[in-house]
Amino acid sequence: MTITLYGIPNCDTVKKARTWLAAQQIEFTFHDFKKQGLERATVEAWLAQLPWDVLVNKKGTTWRALSDERKASTVDAASALALMLENPSIIKRPVLDKDGQFSVAFSDAQYKTLFSL
């Protein structure tokens, strides 16, 4: 099983997911997309499985700081892809890659289901 957790280390939800995985003794790689960046292919893979409006965090401060024009122009996967690559902080966190299956956000119940615990 290959697991990568994408996010930023100071995000509270990412911290909870990392703590949960460690407590379950599940090995994973953490990818800090602020420091390590994001490949276009990675975000495209996410978008192949997940709706763009699930990946784009419209409740966060990054979204609220965007111009009204930029918000209005984010209407599909292609425009969301460009926005996420330009500004990774807009991505709802964390994104979990478990053997090529992707999940967004964190809750104890969600991860128990994902890992069949």
Question: Which domains occur in the chain, in start order?
Answer: 3-115 (3.40.30.10)
DSSP state of 44: H
pTM over 0.85: yes
- CA–CA separation, 90 and 60 (whole Å): 7
pLDDT at 63: 96
pLDDT at 39: 95
What is the per-residue pLDDT across 14-25, written as a single tens digit (0 to 9) for each?
999 999 999 999
pLDDT at 1: 78
- Known active-site residue 11: yes
| Sheet hosting strand 95-98, strand order edge to edge | 29-32, 3-7, 95-98, 101-104
pLDDT at 70: 94
Using 50 as the pLDDT threshold, list the residues of the chain that sit under it. none
SS3 assignment, position 95: strand
pLDDT at 54: 96
Select which of 3, 4, 11, 50 is catalytic.
11
